[in-house]
A and B are shown apart, each in its own frame.
Chain A
Amino acid sequence: MSSLSRDDVAKLAALARIEMSEEELVSLSSQFGMILDAVARVQEVNLDGVVATSHPQPIQNVFREDQVRPSLTPEQALSGAPAQEEQRFRVPQILGEAE
Chain B
Amino acid sequence: MINQTAAAMSEALVKGEVTSTQLTQAHLDRISDVDTSVKAFLHVDAEGALAQAARVDADRSSGKKLHPLAGIPLALKDVLTQDGIPTTAGSKILQGWKPQYDSTVVSKIKEAGIVILGKTNMDEFAMGSSTENSAYGPTFNPWDLSRTPGGSSGGSAAAVSAFEAPLAIGSDTGGSIRQPAALTGIVGVRPTYGAVSRYGLIAYSSSLDQAGPFGRTVLDTALLHDVMAGHDPKDATSINGKFPDVVSAAQKRDVKGLKIGVIKQLQGEGYQKGVQARFDESLQVLASLGAEIIEVDCPSFEYALAAYYLIAPSECSSNLARFDAMRYGLRVGDSDGASAEAVMSATRNAGFGHEVKRRIILGAYALSSGYYDAYYGSAQKIRTLIIQDYAKAFAQADVLVSPTAPTTAFKIGEKSNDPIAMYLGDVATIPVNLAGICGMSLPAGLADEDGLPVGFQIMAPAMCDDRLYNVGGALEAALASQWGGHLISKAPALGGSK
A contact residues vs B (CB 8 Å cutoff):
4, 9, 12-21, 24, 28, 31-32, 34-36, 38-45, 47, 50-57, 59, 61-62, 64, 72, 76-77, 79-83, 89, 91-94, 98
Contacts and interface: CB of A to CB of B under 8 A. Distances in A.
Nearest to B357: A18
B348 A38 contact: no
B303 to A, nearest CB: 6
13 contacts: A16-B348, A17-B324, A19-B342, A20-B349, A20-B357, A35-B419, A38-B306, A41-B306, A42-B306, A56-B194, A72-B100, A72-B101, A89-B326
A57 B339 contact: no
B325 A82 contact: yes
Given A52-B384, A91-B340, A16 B360 contact: yes
Nearest to A84: B327
A92 B328 contact: no
Interface stretch (B70-78, B140-148, B374-382, B490-498): B374-382
A34 to B, nearest CB: 6
A82 B207 contact: no
B335 to A, nearest CB: 9
Contacts of A36: 365
A38 B384 contact: no
B17 interface: no
A53 B100 contact: no
Contact of B382 (A9, A45, A54, A56): A45
A92 B339 contact: yes
A14 B345 CA distance: 8
Contacts of A57: 193-194, 237, 239, 436, 462
Interface of B: 97-101, 193-194, 207, 233, 236-237, 239, 300, 303, 305-307, 309-310, 317, 321, 324-331, 334, 337-346, 348-349, 352, 354, 357-358, 360-362, 364-366, 368, 374-375, 377-385, 387, 419-420, 423, 434-437, 462
A92 B97 CA distance: 20
B309 A45 contact: no
Nearest to A34: B420
B191 to A, nearest CB: 12
Contacts of A77: 100
A52 B387 contact: no
A35 B309 contact: yes
B361 A38 contact: no
Nearest to B235: A62
B357 A93 contact: no
Contacts of A62: 233, 236
Nearest to A48: B381
A62 B434 CA distance: 23
A42 B378 contact: yes
B352 to A, nearest CB: 7
Nearest to A45: B303
A47 B99 CA distance: 44
